[in-house]
Amino acid sequence: MSDLLDRDQRHVWHPFTQAAVAAPPLPVVRAEGAWLELADGRRILDLISSWWTNLHGHGHPRIADAIARQARELDHVLFAGCTHPPAVDVAERLIAMAPGGLSRVFFSDDGSTAVEVALKMALQFHAQVGQPRRRRFVAFENAYHGDTVGAMSMGDRGGVSGAFEPLLFDVQRVPLQLAALRQLLETQGDEMAAVLLEPMLQAAGGMLLQEPALLRGVADLCRQHGALFIADEVMTAFGRMGRMFACEHADVQPDLLCVAKGLSGGVLPLAATLATESIYDAFLHADPRRAFLHGHSFTANPIACAAALANFAIFDEEPVLERIAAIERFYAARLPLLRRHPLVRDVRWLGSLGVVELGDADGYFSASASHAVRDACLQRGLLLRPLGPVLYTLPPYCITTAELSMAYDAMDDVIAGL
Ligand SMILES: Cc1ncc(COP(=O)(O)O)c(C=O)c1O
C-alpha cells in the first residue's frame, strides 16, 4: 500500500486537492454495493456515491455485464457521420422518461460539458431565430455548474473559480428569489438568452433545497420573457430528489436539460443535453456554419451508452424509487433527532439526500472543524466530504436501513464530540 501511495505522490495530480497539506489519498482497490475496500482490507461506506455518481451500488452485475458485452461488440466509433444502437436506444429512453417537450439528445462526457453545450446552443439558437440581442445569461447566487470556463462563469464566483476570473464571462447573477428574477427580466429580459438553474437543489453551493413553487416560478418567468430555461439536472436526475427528474416536483418543462453523473449508473463518463424540437429546428439550414459545431472524441461512447441502458433496465426491473423512498423515510425519522446537538443549526432532506448543517449561534463553523468532522467520520468507516459546515449523505440507492443507522449513529457520535 505504501508503495502505491509513494508512486501516487510522485506522479499523480488529484482534483480539488491541496497536495501540500492534504492527507494521502485512500487507496481503494475494490468496491461492492455501498462499500469501498481499501488496500489494507478496511471497508468504507460510500455515503456520497463517489461524487454523486453511483446510483445502484458499485459493481452492479447488470451494468458490469453490459459493459463487458458492449466492449466486445463495438467499443467506440466517432459520432459525427456514424451512429450505433446503444446511442439511439439511450436517446429514445431519455426522451421517453424526461419532462415533456424535449425531443433531441446531444451527447457529451461530463456534467460541465453538458452545461457548456446548453449555453452554446442557447446563444446560437437566438442568433439563428433573429434575436441576436439575446446574448446574456442569468445565473443564481450559490450556483455550481462545473469547472469548464462557461460552467464556471455561471457558477458562484470566488471559491473554486477564483484563480480563473480573467477567463470568465460576465453573467447577470441574482439571488434565487422570484422577485429578483422578475425585476431583472422586466428590465433586461429581451437581452437574456437563457436562465440556468439547478432545479430543487443547489448542490455544491451548500445543499440548498427549493420549494417547487420557486422552480415553477422561474420556469414561468423564462417563458414570459422569451429566455430559454435550462435545467441543470447533472446532480439531481435519476431519482436523487425522489423523482426521476427534479423538474417533476414542479411539473416544469425546460427548454434544455443537462444530465451526466448518474446517467451511466455512475460507472462511466457520459452526459447529455436534451433540447426541444424548436431549438433543434433552428440549427437546420443549407449553410453548414449554422449547424451546432461542437463535439468530443468520445461523444456517445457505445460502452458508456450500454451502461446507461443497463441503468435504465435496473430502474425498470428493480424497485429503485421505493428504495429511495425508504432512504427518505429514514431521514424523516432520524435527522430531526440530531437537532438536540447545540452545533446542529438545521437538518433537511429530500429523496436520497440528507443534510445536517453545523455551526455555532452565529452560524460559524471553521474549515478546520469541517475537516475534523470528515476525518472523524472516516475513522469510523464513513466516506463523507462536508461542504464547509454542511454535512450530508447521498448514498447509492442499494444502501440498507441498517447501514444508514450505523452511519448516522457514528455521525451523531462525532457531532456530540465537537
Ligand atoms: C449541478 C451540477 N452541474 C454540473 C456539475 C459538473 O459535473 P462534472 O463534475 O461531471 O463536470 C456538477 C458537479 O458536481 C453539478 O453538481
Going from N- to C-terminal start, the domains of the chain cover: 2-56+319-416, 62-317
Tell how far the Cα of 233 is from the centroid of ligand 1, in angstroms: 9
For the stretch 30-61, pLDDT in tens is: 999 999 999 999 999 999 999 999 999 999 99
Whose grid coordinates read 489494507? 40
What distance in angstroms lies between residue 194's CA and the mean position of ligand 1's atoms? Answer: 18
Which residues form ligand 1's pocket by a CB distance below 6 Å?
A: 110-112, 115, 144-146, 198, 203-204, 232, 234-235, 260-261
Among 196, 233, 235, residue to substitute to test ligand 1 (most atoms within 8 Å of Cβ): 235
Query: Where does residue 75 rank: exposed (0-12), middle (13-18), buried (19+ CB within 10 A)?
Result: exposed
pLDDT tens profile 150-196? 999 999 988 888 899 999 999 999 999 999 999 999 999 999 999 99
Which residue's CA is the nearest one to ligand 1's atom 3?
Answer: 145
What's the pLDDT tens digit per position in 232-244? 999 999 999 999 9
Locate the ligand 1 atom nearest the alpha carbon of residue 261 and give its number. 10
Q: Give me ligand 1 centre to Cα 116, in Å.
A: 11
pLDDT mean over 76-83: 98
CATH number of 62-317: 3.40.640.10
> Which position has the grid cell 446503444?
86
CA 354 / ligand 1 centre spacing (Å): 19
Judge if pTM exceeds 0.85.
Answer: yes
Pick the CATH number of 2-56+319-416 from 3.90.480.20, 3.90.1010.10, 3.90.1150.10, 3.40.50.720: 3.90.1150.10
- pLDDT at residue 217 greater than cutoff 80: yes
Tell me which of 108, 144, 152, 387 to substitute to probe ligand 1's pocket, judged by most ligand atoms within 8 Å of the beta carbon: 144
Q: How far apart are CA 64 and CA 50, in angstroms?
A: 17
Please report, for residues 29, 259, 386, the alpha-carbon distance to residue 392 in angstroms, rounded to integers and kept in the order given: 25, 22, 6
Q: How much of the chain, in percent, has pLDDT values that exceed 70?
A: 100
CA of 235 to the centre of ligand 1 (A): 6
Atom nearest to 203 CA in ligand 1: 16
Residue 229, all three cell numbers: 430555461
How large is the average pLDDT for residues 406-412?
98
Amino acid identity of residue 303, one-letter, is: I
Interatomic CA distance for residues 417 and 138, integer angstroms: 43
Cα of 145 from ligand 1 centre, angstroms: 5
Residue 1 has pLDDT above 70, yes or no: no
